[in-house]
A and B are shown apart, each in its own frame.
Chain A
C-alpha cells in the first residue's frame, strides 16, 4: 500500500467561496480518484484524475464546480467552487498502485463544512 495524505484535514468555509484540497502520495501511482461522502451516506465517485490531461467526471459532477488537477504521478488537487451548504461532506482521494491491481487505497479525507 501507499501513504496517502490530504490537506486540509478539515475546514469551515463561507458560502460562495472555494476550497482546494490536496492529495499527496509517497510513491508513484497509476490512477487517482476523488470521492464525496455526504453526511451519513456512502461514497460517490466524483472523477478520475488523469495525469497530464483533463479529469474524467461522473454523471452529476462538472468541471466548473469541481476542477481537478494532476500534474504528476504523486499529487492531485480537487477544488470545490462557489460552495453552498449542500457541499458539506467528506472528500476523499484514493489511488491504484499498479496496472494489474484493482485495490484502491484511501486518504484520510477532508471534512468540509460550509456555512
Chain B
C-alpha cells in the first residue's frame, strides 16, 4: 500500500535559517504529492503540491520538487520566520477513483527570534 515517511521532529531553528524537512514515499503508479501546514489551534492548509515527476511546487517562499528517482518530496525554505512555526505534513494522493490522502507523521517546526 501507499506510505509516506517524514523527517522526525521537532525541529527548532533560528529566524532566517535554512529549512529542510525530508519526505519520502512509497506508492504504486504516479501519485500527486502535497505539503500541508497546520498552525496552532487550526485546521490544515494546503501549502504546495506537485502532480508529476520533476514538478516544483512553491508558495510563501517554500519549495518542494517531485523526485521520482528518489521517491522524495523534500520541503525547503531559504529563510524561515517566526510565523512559520507550525506542524508540516507531507501527503500523497494515488489519483485513483478514491483519491484518498495518505499522510506522513508530521514535523513540528519552531522558529525562534
Contacts and interface: CB of A to CB of B under 8 A. Distances in A.
A105 B106 contact: no
Contacts of B105: 41-42
A5 to B, nearest CB: 10
A106 B44 contact: yes
Size category, B interface: 20 to 34
Main secondary structure of the interface of A (DSSP, over half): strand
Interface stretch (B19-27, B60-68, B70-78, B92-100): B92-100
A57 B98 CA distance: 12
A22 interface: no
Interface of B: 32, 34, 36, 42-46, 49, 51, 89, 93, 95, 98-101, 103-106
Given A42-B89, A106-B36, A107-B43, 14 more contacts: A6-B43, A33-B101, A41-B105, A42-B104, A42-B105, A43-B44, A45-B100, A48-B98, A92-B44, A94-B101, A102-B99, A103-B32, A106-B43, A106-B44
